[in-house]
Every structure is written in structure tokens, then in C-alpha cells.
Amino acid sequence: MRARHVQLSAQGAVFLDHARQLLEVHERALATFAAARQRLAIGISDHVAGPELSALIARMNAQDPQLLIGIRIGSSDDLLRSFDRRELDAVLARQHVGRSDGEVIAEEKFGWFAAPSWQHRADEPLPLATMPEPCGVRATAVQLLDAAAVPWTEIFVGGELPRSLRPSWRGSG
């Protein structure tokens, strides 16, 4: 059997040149998309963030090793404002009055906690460890204590202090 000689027509040669250009542009477009890592920016309320966070990140990474996860921990108010400005893709926060967006994924019961050895002295105000204002949990605790006429005093404020209360550190140099 003899090999046959095949040659493109003039129209086929023009089409082949355009087809090669089209494939080259297609490959460049795919390479650009593949090179860009997908990013996910998540806000997590400081009330929700806990020791399970690292396991959650590991599971998310196992699902998609190319996913770049950014996590911001802060107050629910601040995180929801960042979400509204589209700085965050998702937020895990306490439900806020006046907001109907989002989905309830868990319900927490409000509780009072103390060291096992702690004993309240009736003649002293209740010592309270809180997060700084505008913390919703703090507001609920204070409201309940005031409504019950229980005297209280803050002995510890955790988390990040509001800007107005932060010391200004100025070094010489």
C-alpha cells in the first residue's frame, strides 16, 4: 500500500492558522485561571472561635489544597460590617437584631461560669469578666444583672480594647 499525499486547500491553510491561534489563546486562558489560587475570607466572632478552628481549617484544606483561607476574628458587629462592605465572603457571628440575612447554624444557651472554688460574698459586688463594649453577650449579662438588682463590677476585660481605650505606645528612636 502506498502512502497518499494530502495537502490543505488555500481555505484550509487559512483556517489552520486561525485554529492554532484560537488554541493558543485558549491554553493561555486556562493557564491563567489555574495559576490563580481561589481565596476565601471568613470572619469568625470571638465568641465562636475556639480550639476546633485549626481542625476546621485542616478539613477545608484537605477538600481543596489550592484554596487560600483567610480568617479574621473579631466582634460580630465589626465582622458583619466588613461582610456588608464585601471584605469577607462569609461570617460566623452572633445573630443581630434587625438583620434577617444569614442562617442560624447553632443556638447557644446563656450561662454563668466561675472557678469551682469560687464563692460569692453577699457583701461584695459580683466580679465579672467580660469582653469590651459593644459585645452583645456583655450587654445581655449586664442587662440581666441590673434587672435582678445584682451589684457587679468588671474585674477583667478580654479581647481587643476599643481604640479609645488603647494605650498609645511611642518609642524614642
pLDDT at 168: 52
pLDDT, residue 170, reads: 47
Q: Say what the pLDDT of residue 173 is.
A: 42
> How far is the C-alpha of 91 from the C-alpha of 49, rounded, in Å?
11
Q: Convert the pLDDT of each residue in 25-80 to its tens digit.
A: 888 887 776 666 788 899 988 777 777 888 888 888 888 887 888 889 888 888 99
CA-CA-CA-CA torsion sign (47, 133, 91, 88): negative
Q: Is 69 or 6 the better-scoring residue by pLDDT? A: 69
Cell of 20: 492554532
> Residue ranges per domain, the chain?
10-95, 111-173
Helix (H), strand (E), coil (C) string for 96-143: CCCCCCCCCCCCCCCCCCCCCCCCCCCCCCEEEEECCCCCHHHHHHHH
Residue 74 to residue 154: CA distance in whole angstroms: 21
pLDDT at 171 over 50: no
- Core vs surface per residue 91-109: b (16+ CB within 10 A) or e: bbbbeeeeeeeeeeeeeee
E strand or H helix that includes residue 39: strand 39-45
Segment 85-129, tens digit of pLDDT: 999 999 988 877 677 788 888 887 778 888 889 888 888 999 888
| Separation of alpha carbons 89 and 83, rounded Å | 7
pLDDT at residue 17 tops 60: yes
Looking at residue 147, what is its pLDDT? 95
Domain 10-95: CATH architecture, name and number where available: 3-Layer(aba) Sandwich (3.40)
Among 105, 87, 93, 72, CA closest to 135: 93
Cell numbers for 87: 471584605
pLDDT higher than threshold 60 for residue 164: no
